[in-house]
Amino acid sequence: IDENTIADLRILNLSVLPVTYNDQFYKDVIQTHSVEMSCLAYLNGQAVGGITCRKEACSDSLFRVYIMTLSVLAPYRRLKIGSMLLDTIMNNIKHDCTLDHLCLHVQTTNEQALGFYGRNGFHIHSRLDGYY
């Protein structure tokens, strides 16, 4: 994702996610977070899915990849686009031996997202009351 495609990500996130991200979030995606930590999926010239991640320290020598957003337009769900986006990030980072794990937050009421992440190998580590 770069300056030419960041508007596509913003439109996608506004269409799909229950959280509205500010301008600084989108600036950070293209200016602060490394290129291999985000990507968009296009079908017939339209952005239908996107993922953004950031690298966070979890110890003195290890980092984790935090999934900030993962969105797929409703008509394109169940086509493995979300899984392909996750796979792209995992392939981009697989040679970085400082990375320990991937993580994210999901609303506990979002059964569809919980099922998706479960099918993709994630498990619930803990619950944070009042996060959303």
Q: Is 1 helix (H, G, I), strand (E, B) or coil?
A: coil
Active-site pick, 21, 26, 101, 105: 105
Structure-token pair, residue 23 = 């301008």
* 125 is a catalytic site residue: no
**Distance, C-alpha 4 to centroid of its chain:** 19
Alpha-helix runs per DSSP H in 17-66: 23-31
Active-site pick, 66, 95, 117, 123: 66
* 21 is a catalytic site residue: no
Structure-token pair, residue 122 = 């994630």
Residues annotated as catalytic are: 66, 105
